[in-house]
Amino acid sequence: MKVSALAGGGMLLTFSWAEGFTPPSGDASALAEEWSELNSYIKIKANGVVTLMAPNPEFGSNVKTTLPMMLADELDVDWKNVIVEQADFYPERFARQFTGGSQSVRQAWKPLRTAGATARQMLVNAAAETWSVPANEITTSAGELLHKSSGKKAGYGEMASKAATMSVPKDVPLKKINDFKIIGTSKKNVEGHGIVTGKPLFGMDYKQEGMLIAMIVHPPAFGKKVKSVNDSAAKSMPGIKDVFVIKTLADDYERNGFDTTTFTELVVVAGNSTWEVMNAKKALKVEWENIVDSNIVVEGRGGKETVKIPAGLESTQGHNARMLEMSKKTANVLRKDGDPEKAFQSAAKVLERTYTAPYLAHNTMEPVNCFANVTADKAEIYGPTQAPEFISRTLSARLGLPKEKIHIKLARMGGGFGLRAYCHHMVEAAVISQKLSAPVKLVYTREDDMTYGIYRPTYTATYKAALDKDNNLIAFHVRGGGIPEHAVHANRFPAGAVDNYLAEGWALESNITIGAFRAPRSNFIAGAEQSFLDELAELAGKDPIAFRLELLERAKTKPVGTNNDYDADRYAGVLKLVREKSKWSETQPNVHRGVSAYFCHNTYVAEVLDLEVKKNTPVINKVFAAVDCGIVVNPDSAANMSEGGIIDGIGNALFGELTFVDGVPQKSNFHQYRLIRQKEAPKAIEVHFVQNEHDPTGLGEPLFPPVFGALANALYKATGKRYYNQPFAKDFQLTPSRM
């Protein structure tokens, strides 16, 4: 926590997890006079109106509402008097302006409450000084300060300007859970009204005087690059200003893991209006040529790494053949307990199954876009981003401007799902603006967006398990691979519950780029593992929930190894809760049930999915979910996120797939790439949260992975056939339901 003097005489309190950061200077001069700023997150007007800053970019998980609720509760104000404002990217003032990994609520829990509680204490101290009474005799309630014995009262607004000059107290205690007034109550989306009235909230909606529209043409295939451009027809079309080629990143630029390597050379068309630019784009004649093998340096979590980008035009058929071949070979041992080989030899029964999943495109409803206005001495960027801090170094290096001269404003995102952690569009827009010396909005067509890369990787996993003559699980082996990464989490369940355990992983290189996609890796491995455990329970003649609970009991009472990354009690807790809520033991005629449970992103989830088959189409009647994410900050919003994760998971499990022929993505828009629609959604979803006092964890991802398994297991009950390969609808003759 650091304090620095404001230009206006107030104190500025910021929270940073980065060591040795530079305090901001002269930045608060823009603050309107009537506002008193108590810290980076909180300012209060003389009339008592409170503005709370929403530090994280919003992509639909409702962090713009939920994070300020934490500030408001500790500050002790009435939510009705709160205005929430989206913060710009400002790392010196706001910690962790990143939305992703289901971490926003979890990571903000202490810092934001501390910010609220500290500001409250400053108001109390101001009142104590004004009234000449001890601070510890002053209480607060809904934005009011009260000194009971003297009867003195004041609104926060009356004390705000004084409070802003007080020294910042240290180690202010936080509220006890029972004292929360806002946390734990449902607050509606602060941007709801703007959304339902069509306000310009998104990057795509942004406009500035003199702004040009720019579009890109990227290679039609992975493994290709620009050879030559014939722009004579396009350049002379109405409304067109310029056509040129940009290089966004130098080949030897040391990237971070979020600087995509997809297409760094792009053809740009810029003009007055979207339609004119779209037409000119079609009139361009671009010749492409094959790339050659190259290497790039990427600064990852494990330090600098040289990554090979192989030449070649890759196809799904070839990928699948190579993956099948690899899954038969031994791979990197990630974890080994006991003597799996010996246990398999002595087994009474052995089950081995292989699961696969294709590449997936994110398909955020808002296509990639970004506004940039780059001048000689500064850059203004406005667009969808989950992770401005991941791109600021690259923008600075590419534009030749110091970081502090690059102002990134955070647009509401029309979906993220991981895609917008990769901010190539910000670099592209900025480079185009710099080249044109004009404000520019870069707009991708849906086709540009879907065929650009940064996909969920294609994966496979082979599971093998051994039962003894009493149907106890005595050995478990997972060997997973993928392009260009595997999805095995070696220390997750059922590691720790089996004496003889082996996890292996392998990966193949590719020039098709990948990126984080809602619950990376878990989004495949959960469904595979949970389908396998279902089949294994059946082979053991055990109820699938009882079978899992038996393993969890083993992991709790006599764990194997020390590195197991789950709490067996909380895991079992969600299974028991979903068993109770779904009335698991009761069956209904023609209703087929599947269960699944998974722990990822710090949250435990169990799901039961009920379906019926009508006219050869599975109709999902209901999904029950039990969730342990600790304290639920904004319950109805948490339920919304949970429902969305389930529906999105069902959609991707049934339909999600992107294939390639000679490097060309075989789908480019929604007539080919099927997303789940209203009719295919479950008819009902019930979400039950475990009530406990653990610090909160996240919900953006954890509901998504297990539903792949619950669906596969219910489909098996309905059809007698196991579903090993995503998307499941390929094997199941589903009636198209599109209008």
Partner 1 sequence: MAKISLNINGKKHEVDVDPKTPVLWVLRDHLDLVGTKYGCGMAQCGACTIILEGSAVRSCVMPVSAVANKKITTIEGISENGDHPVQKAWLEHDVPQCGYCQAGQIMTAVALLEKNPKPSDEEIETAMNGNICRCGTYLRIKAAVKTASNA
Piece of the chain touching partner 1 by CB under 8 A; list 173-181, 310-318, 361-369, 529-537: 361-369
Determine the Cα angle at 563 with ends 518 and 108, to 5°.
45
Contact with partner 1 (CB under 8 A) among 20, 26, 134, 198: 198
The dihedral region occupied by 171, where left means phi > 0, alpha psi between -120 and 50, and beta the remainder, is left
Least distance (Å) between residue 208 CB and partner 1: 12
Contact with partner 1 (CB under 8 A) among 538, 675, 719, 730: 675
Contact between 302 and partner 1 per CB under 8 A: no
Contact between 193 and partner 1 per CB under 8 A: yes
Nearest CA among 570, 517, 555, 483 for reference residue 700: 517
Contact between 665 and partner 1 per CB under 8 A: no
Least distance (Å) between residue 443 CB and partner 1: 8
Question: Which residue lies nearer to partner 1 by CB, 296 or 413?
Answer: 413
Contact with partner 1 (CB under 8 A) among 3, 195, 250, 292: 195
- Whose tokens are 């990057």? That residue is 203
Element holding 380 (H helix, E strand) = strand 379-383
Least distance (Å) between residue 386 CB and partner 1: 12
Contact between 62 and partner 1 per CB under 8 A: yes
Least distance (Å) between residue 613 CB and partner 1: 18
Contact with partner 1 (CB under 8 A) among 418, 682, 702, 709: 682
Residues 6+ away with beta carbon under 8 Å from 43: 31, 35, 36, 37, 50, 51
Find out whether 626 and 688 touch, Cβ atoms under 8 Å: yes
Phi, psi of 563 (to 5 degrees): -105, 25
Contact between 60 and partner 1 per CB under 8 A: yes
Question: Which residue lies nearer to partner 1 by CB, 360 or 528?
Answer: 360
Contact with partner 1 (CB under 8 A) among 112, 115, 430, 641: 641
Question: Which residue lies nearer to partner 1 by CB, 192 or 400?
Answer: 192
User: What's the CA gap between 384 and 60, in Å, rounded?
Assistant: 12
**173 DSSP 8-state letter:** P
- In angstroms, the Cα distances linking 94 to 15, 42, 57, 268, 379 are 7, 12, 12, 35, 20
Least distance (Å) between residue 575 CB and partner 1: 24
Phi, psi of 407 (to 5 degrees): -100, 110
Contact between 636 and partner 1 per CB under 8 A: yes
Window 515 to 544, contacts with partner 1 (CB under 8 A): none
Contact between 177 and partner 1 per CB under 8 A: no
Element holding 76 (H helix, E strand) = none
Contact between 738 and partner 1 per CB under 8 A: yes
Question: Which residue lies nearer to partner 1 by CB, 135 or 681?
Answer: 681
Residues 6+ away with beta carbon under 8 Å from 194: 201
Least distance (Å) between residue 417 CB and partner 1: 8
Piece of the chain touching partner 1 by CB under 8 A; list 407-415, 459-467, 581-589, 597-605: 407-415
Piece of the chain touching partner 1 by CB under 8 A; list 28-36, 147-155, 310-318, 364-372: 364-372
Question: Which residue lies nearer to partner 1 by CB, 110 or 188?
Answer: 188
Window 272 to 301, contacts with partner 1 (CB under 8 A): 273-276, 279
- Whose tokens are 């039962």? That residue is 467
Least distance (Å) between residue 421 CB and partner 1: 15
Contact between 196 and partner 1 per CB under 8 A: yes
Structure tokens given for 69: 């609720």
Residue 483's beta-bridge partner residues? 458
Contact between 199 and partner 1 per CB under 8 A: yes
User: What's the CA gap between 366 and 616, in Å, rounded?
Assistant: 34
Contact between 610 and partner 1 per CB under 8 A: no
Nearest CA among 94, 73, 162, 90 for reference residue 634: 73
Structure tokens given for 32: 């309107």
- List the strands of the sheet with 138-141, edge to edge: 138-141, 144-147, 152-155
Question: Which residue lies nearer to partner 1 by CB, 515 or 645?
Answer: 645
What own/partner pairs with CB < 8 Å and gap ≥ 24 does 206-209 have? 206/371, 206/382, 206/383, 206/411, 206/441, 207/441, 208/371, 208/373, 208/439, 209/439
Least distance (Å) between residue 648 CB and partner 1: 4
Question: Which residue lies nearer to partner 1 by CB, 50 or 204?
Answer: 204
Contact between 679 and partner 1 per CB under 8 A: yes
User: E strands of 629-736, at which residues?
Assistant: 660-661, 664-665, 684-689
Residues 6+ away with beta carbon under 8 Å from 238: 276
Least distance (Å) between residue 655 CB and partner 1: 11
Interacting residues with partner 1 (CB under 8 A): 59-62, 186, 188-189, 191-193, 195-202, 204-205, 207, 213, 238, 273-276, 279, 363-367, 412-417, 443, 445-446, 636-637, 640-641, 643-648, 651, 669-671, 675-679, 681-682, 684-685, 737-739
